[in-house]
Amino acid sequence: MTRYPAFKVAVAHAAPIFLDTEKTIQKACSIIEEAASHGASLICFPEAFVPGFPVWAALEAPIRTHELFKRLAASAIQIGGPELAHICQTARRRRILVSLGFTEGTTASVGCLWNSNVLIDADGSILNHHRKIVPTFYGKLIWANGDGSGLRVARTELGRIGMLICGENTNPLARYALMAEGEQVHISTYPPVWPTRPPEISGSYDLAQAIRIRAGAHAFEAKVFNIVASACVDQTLQQTIETALGPEPLRILEQSVRGISVVFDPTGTPVGDSLGGDEGILYAAIDLARSVEPKQFHDVVGYYNRFDIFALTINRASLRPANFVNDPPTRSFRSHSSGSEYTDGGNSSCRIGDGRPDFVQRAVPNSPGLTRISRRSGSLYESHPRHREFQQQAREG
């Protein structure tokens, strides 16, 4: 029998403490606490919330912004690092799912960054880790291309949740990949502003209108609830831009159209009000049973398509700078979030250079001493071929 969860979601229409990772993590945890105290089962943060969206790439030539890039690189966080561990611990303590956007660094390079997003379960485990597949426009000056390993739907107690970052929501193939996995709740994340021209020149990009078009369209086409989280412009961002770049870039920043945070239902209709401008937390009620009737009209991953005519292939390979062979027989690393030690048995499953383990260890409920090794994916227990070997190592360790 199919179950249709109903629950409350929260959207953090908020600004980070710009380029201050520690204070931004503290602020995020405070917002998580507040949302949980108001009964939310899921809270969504904006794009690149930690440590802030690098809007300077739109406001000044790259030859004048090296110092800002250095600060961003120094503030980037990694999967498995203490910053995300703090978020995971807060999620676990308050029993709430968390979607968080961040700039991700890597041990392989001090200058390689990704525009990333994680979905954290209510038990504090990471359900999905997605790197934006292609940075948009001037984002290419900051972030590297991601891969397809995070282009997936996570199965949760609240339903099947997918997520895309900013301009990815314009990509019909990326969106369809999530639809094809039975997505029920979609998370769209955006920056506070996205200037493409000086605001006084006609044709400047209207971020709020672009959000309404894309988010409403995906909600309607996929018959999903679409949760949109956009960031805000605050004093820490304004001061940083003015100090580093001067008054003209600050003027463009302040006069550019702001993003909005809003939730759309499966008909593409907003659920309640939207937030724009000032910071706040937006709450909305979601009932997944409301997706059933619209699926009778258009189900593009079911009867309302022709799979004998159209075919889509998604490569979910995890990309890395090199494949290392003949490593020492045993390699181990410790999880910051759980304190547990993991062993790859000499198979180099730990993705050298980017800090993301291919496989994660989980305790099996009601079975003391028994563990599962599963691929880092939306499916919690997707078996690895060396599952039994890994289990035995976990018992002996």
pLDDT-derived band of residue 329, with 50, 70 and 90 as boundaries? Answer: low
pLDDT-derived band of residue 319, with 50, 70 and 90 as boundaries? Answer: confident
Q: In the structure encoding, which two tokens stand for residue 230, read together?
A: 């956009």
Domain boundaries, the chain: 6-297, 332-396
Tell how strand 159-165 and strand 97-106 pair up.
unpaired
pLDDT of residue 323: 87
Percentage of residues in the chain with pLDDT exceeding 90?
79
pLDDT of residue 327: 77
| Segment 273-302 mean pLDDT | 97
Q: In the structure encoding, which two tokens stand for residue 374, read together?
A: 């599963």
pLDDT of residue 347: 33
| Residue 97 near residue 42 (C-beta atoms within 8 A) | yes
Residue 320 has pLDDT above 60, yes or no: yes
pLDDT-derived band of residue 94, with 50, 70 and 90 as boundaries? Answer: very high
Residue 352 has pLDDT above 70, yes or no: no
Q: Give Cα separations from 252 to 141, 198, 259, 270 (angstroms).
A: 19, 6, 15, 29
Specify whether the backbone of 63 is left (phi greater than 0), alpha (psi in -120 to 50) or beta: alpha
Kindly report the CA angle at 165 between 160 and 166, in degrees rounded to 5?
130
| Segment 266-275 mean pLDDT | 97
Low-confidence winner among 81-95, 114-128, 326-340, 374-388 (lowest mean pLDDT): 374-388
pLDDT-derived band of residue 387, with 50, 70 and 90 as boundaries? Answer: very low
Residue 265 has pLDDT above 90, yes or no: yes
Q: In the structure encoding, which two tokens stand for residue 173, read together?
A: 């193939």
Q: In the structure encoding, which two tokens stand for residue 315, read together?
A: 């490569």
Residue 61 has pLDDT above 50, yes or no: yes
pLDDT digit string, tens, across residues 102-149? 999 999 999 999 999 999 999 999 999 999 999 999 999 999 999 999
DSSP letter for 364, please.
P
Kindly report the CA angle at 47 between 17 and 123, in degrees rounded to 5?
90
pLDDT-derived band of residue 330, with 50, 70 and 90 as boundaries? Answer: low
Q: Give Cα separations from 251 to 59, 69, 147 (angstroms).
A: 10, 21, 36
* 196 phi and psi angles, rounded to 5 deg: -120, -15
pLDDT of residue 378: 36
pLDDT of residue 315: 96
Please tell me the total number of residues recorded for the chain in this structure.
Answer: 397
More confidently predicted of 121 and 372: 121
| 7-16: burial string, b at 16+ Cβ within 10 Å, e else | bebbbbbbbb
Specify whether the backbone of 275 is left (phi greater than 0), alpha (psi in -120 to 50) or beta: beta
DSSP letter for 30, please.
H
Return mean pLDDT, the chain.
87
pLDDT-derived band of residue 341, with 50, 70 and 90 as boundaries? Answer: very low
**β-pair partners for 99:** 44, 119
Q: Structurally, what CATH architecture does the domain formed by 6-297 represent?
A: 4-Layer Sandwich (3.60)
* C-alpha of 78 from chain center: 13
pLDDT-derived band of residue 251, with 50, 70 and 90 as boundaries? Answer: very high
Q: Give Cα separations from 265 to 15, 192, 220, 238, 275 (angstroms).
A: 25, 23, 8, 34, 16
pLDDT of residue 383: 34
pLDDT digit string, tens, across residues 145-184? 999 999 999 999 999 999 999 999 999 999 999 999 999 9
Q: CB count, 10 Å around CB of 74?
A: 12
